[in-house]
A = this chain, B = another copy of it.
Amino acid sequence: MFSKACEYGIRAAIYIGQQSTDSGRRVGLKDIAAEIGSPEAFTAKVLQQLVREQLITSVKGPTGGFELTAEQLRTVTLRQIVVAIDGGAMLQGCALGLPQCSARQPCPMHYQFLPIRDQLNELLRTHTIGELASKVHDGLGFLKQFG
């Protein structure tokens, strides 16, 4: 579905969001990678992208780390993260790989595929990081699986 980079990015963002909501404290890279079960250095690259797009916030130095502002918690959607990392191909492209998804020259799956793709778009668009973070906080969702 999504690339590894994107999966890590989403899980990291939610974890950061959870900590920001919960204790208002910043979290370091090592902490994040451990909590979501991702390779540390690679996760760093992904987070850099999200910082550049201002979907998450970072602070250098001691007491530094990653955090989500109240505004970011409220407004940043899953969709923004997916687009920032994977681009829009999966959200707009043709299911059978035609260069253009369009009703002008649709692939044979086009009209059946569209509603599903639309639902996926809607799903990503209507879920904020803050909302998902609170789900994790309440024990209703996990970012890593244990024994």
Contacts and interface: CB of A to CB of B under 8 A. Distances in A.
A85 B9 CA distance: 27
A145 B100 contact: yes
A97 interface: yes
B145 A108 contact: no
A106 B1 contact: no
Interface stretch (A20-28, A45-53, A65-73, A110-118): A110-118
Nearest to A131: B108
Contacts of A140: 108
Interface in A1-58: 1-2, 4, 7-8, 10-11, 14
Contacts of A109: 78, 123, 127, 132, 141
Contacts of A78: 109
A7 B96 contact: yes
Interface string A94-131: 01111110000111111011001001100100010000
A129 B123 CA distance: 30
Interface of A: 1-2, 4, 7-8, 10-11, 14, 78, 90, 93, 95-100, 105-110, 112-113, 116, 119-120, 123, 127, 132-133, 135-136, 140-146
16 contacts: A1-B90, A1-B93, A4-B97, A7-B96, A11-B107, A98-B142, A98-B143, A98-B144, A98-B145, A100-B145, A105-B146, A106-B142, A108-B132, A109-B132, A109-B141, A119-B119
